[in-house]
């Protein structure tokens, strides 16, 4: 039985006794109006309850203004470092999502508390909701320093702190997400947060779940464990798929919920050993569509290493890429015209999209030679 309170996003209820809601994110650049319109139509047809877009500039905000009048499906905006854009976009969306780990980038002389108060004021003025979205790869530096050996606790406490900010302001129309690319971490951090704040509605997701079918399996692991325990009020399945296939995220999410409701819990492989390839969902922050093709090519190329306990991460943008590849044995994050190759948090170099695959294989061979086979 879910214990969370009810909130409203547009005319739709979340939390409490409401069904678990389905959402996804446009994979196009918001300024590309025709492509974004097509993406919204795809997600609407699939049955999305909420559609998210990313806003990183005034031009994006202007595009959002035009798009907002063309759909009855509630829209959510993903703010990046410039939290001040909340004032511009609040009239045109039903929910604003911000990341506590990004607030320190802009107007560093101001406290996070003051910035959150300001965002909440913009949302409240237009009867909007807020999502506090905490990600493993962009933890608030303050909490990361407090818990250098326990990043899971840093994620949880960062979320709890921001809930307190909103509570102090009297703003109750909010929910929280705590995400990681490891489904077991997603399970642990959401359980820990829920134990502290069972009243707060939760948005669940395994970020950078990757390509199907592995991305579906990872997501299913987390959702089966959490939703069956009454934890989770809205979900997103984050898959690396071609732009025109984004409706799959909604379809898969619905299938998982139906299986959970009917007691069909599928056995899944233990993802703790062997090759693990993680990749972020194709979203509007991706600066080159070749990212999806690259992720698919990496999976095919690296198949020979399936017996080795290694993680390869492929990220599609500059926002999450640098931080969210730090824990991978080999990480790639994609810029418009080149790909950054990393080993853990150490930069190896930058390579063109044509050069990166053979260079990645060289590094993978070196790692395999230095580690025992499972």
Domain boundaries, the chain: 7-261, 286-370
CATH for 7-261 (3.40.50.1370, 3.40.50.300, 3.20.20.20, 3.30.450.150): 3.20.20.20
The C-alpha angle 125, 87, 168, rounded to 5 degrees, equals: 55
CA-nearest of 336, 313, 310 to 325 is 313
Residue 106 Cα distances to 49, 110, 337, angstroms = 31, 9, 27
**Identical fold at 7-261 and 286-370?**
no
- Cis status of the peptide bond prior to 213, with omega within 30 of 0: yes
24 strand-pairing partners? 51
What is the pLDDT, as a whole number, of residue 288? Answer: 82
- Predicted model pTM: 0.80
Please state which CATH number belongs to domain 286-370. 3.30.413.10
Distance CA 264, CA 183 (A): 19
For residue 36, CA distances in Å to 51, 66, 134 come to 11, 11, 26
pLDDT attached to residue 266: 62
- The residues, any chain, with a CB within 8 Å of residue 299's CB and separated by 6 or more, are 211, 277
Q: How many CA atoms lie within 13 A of 230 on its CB side?
A: 12
User: Are 233 and 4 a contacting pair, CB within 8 Å?
Assistant: yes
At 296, list the tokens.
């698919």
Q: Supply the pLDDT for residue 267.
A: 40
CB contact at 8 A, 4 and 173:
no
Nearest to 119 by CA among 162, 154, 156, 159: 162
Per-residue pLDDT of the chain (374 residues), as tens digits, is 688 999 999 989 999 999 999 999 998 889 999 999 999 999 999 999 999 998 888 899 999 999 998 999 999 998 877 889 999 999 999 999 999 988 887 778 889 999 999 999 999 999 999 999 999 888 888 998 999 999 999 999 999 999 999 999 999 999 999 999 999 999 999 999 999 999 999 999 998 778 898 899 899 989 988 998 999 999 999 999 998 999 999 999 999 999 888 877 764 444 567 888 877 766 777 778 888 899 999 999 999 998 898 989 888 887 767 877 888 899 999 998 999 999 998 999 999 999 999 999 999 999 999 876 55
Going along the chain, which residue ranges are E strands?
Answer: 7-9, 12-14, 21-25, 50-55, 75-79, 95-98, 129-135, 174-179, 202-204, 234-235, 276-279, 311-315, 330-334, 339-343, 346-351
| Residue 239 DSSP one-character state | B
Neighbours of 300 (CB within 10 A): 11
Supply the pLDDT for residue 372.
Answer: 63
């Amino acid at each position: 039985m879910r214990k969370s309170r009810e909130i409203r996003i547009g005319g739709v209820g979340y939390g409490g006794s409401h069904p678990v809601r389905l959402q996804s994110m446009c994979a196009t650049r918001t300024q590309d109006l025709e492509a974004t319109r097509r993406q919204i139509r795809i997600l609407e047809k699939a049955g999305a309850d909420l559609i998210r877009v990313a806003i990183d500039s005034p031009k994006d905000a202007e595009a959002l203004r035009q798009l907002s009048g063309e759909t009855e499906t509630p829209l959510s905006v993903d703010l990046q470092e410039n939290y001040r854009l909340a004032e511009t976009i609040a009239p045109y969306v039903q929910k604003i999502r911000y990341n506590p780990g990004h607030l320190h980038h802009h107007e560093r002389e101001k406290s996070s508390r003051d910035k959150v108060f300001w965002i909440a004021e913009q949302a409240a003025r237009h009867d909007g909701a807020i999502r506090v979205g905490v990600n493993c790869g962009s933890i608030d530096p303050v909490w990361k320093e407090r818990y250098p050996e326990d990043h899971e606790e840093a994620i949880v406490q960062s979320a709890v702190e921001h809930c307190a900010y909103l509570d102090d302001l009297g703003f109750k129309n909010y929910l929280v997400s705590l995400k990681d690319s490891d489904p077991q971490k997603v399970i642990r951090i959401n359980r820990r947060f829920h134990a502290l704040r069972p009243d707060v509605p939760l948005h669940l997701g395994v970020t950078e779940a990757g390509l199907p079918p592995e991305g579906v399996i990872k997501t299913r692991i987390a959702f089966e464990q959490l939703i069956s325990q009454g934890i989770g009020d809205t979900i997103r399945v984050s898959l690396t798929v071609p732009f025109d296939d984004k409706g799959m995220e909604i379809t898969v999410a619905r299938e998982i919920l139906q299986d959970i409701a009917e007691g069909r819990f599928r056995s899944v492989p233990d993802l703790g050993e062997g090759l693990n390839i993680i990749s972020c969902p194709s979203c509007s922050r991706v600066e080159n569509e070749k990212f999806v093709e690259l992720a698919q090519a990496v999976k095919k190329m690296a198949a020979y290493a399936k017996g080795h306990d290694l993680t390869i991460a492929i990220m599609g943008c500059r926002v999450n890429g640098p931080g969210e590849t730090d824990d991978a044995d080999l990480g790639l994050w994609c810029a418009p015209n080149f790909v950054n190759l990393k080993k853990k948090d150490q930069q190896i170099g930058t390579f063109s999209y044509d050069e990166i695959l053979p260079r990645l294989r060289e590094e993978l061979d070196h790692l395999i030679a230095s580690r025992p086979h499972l």
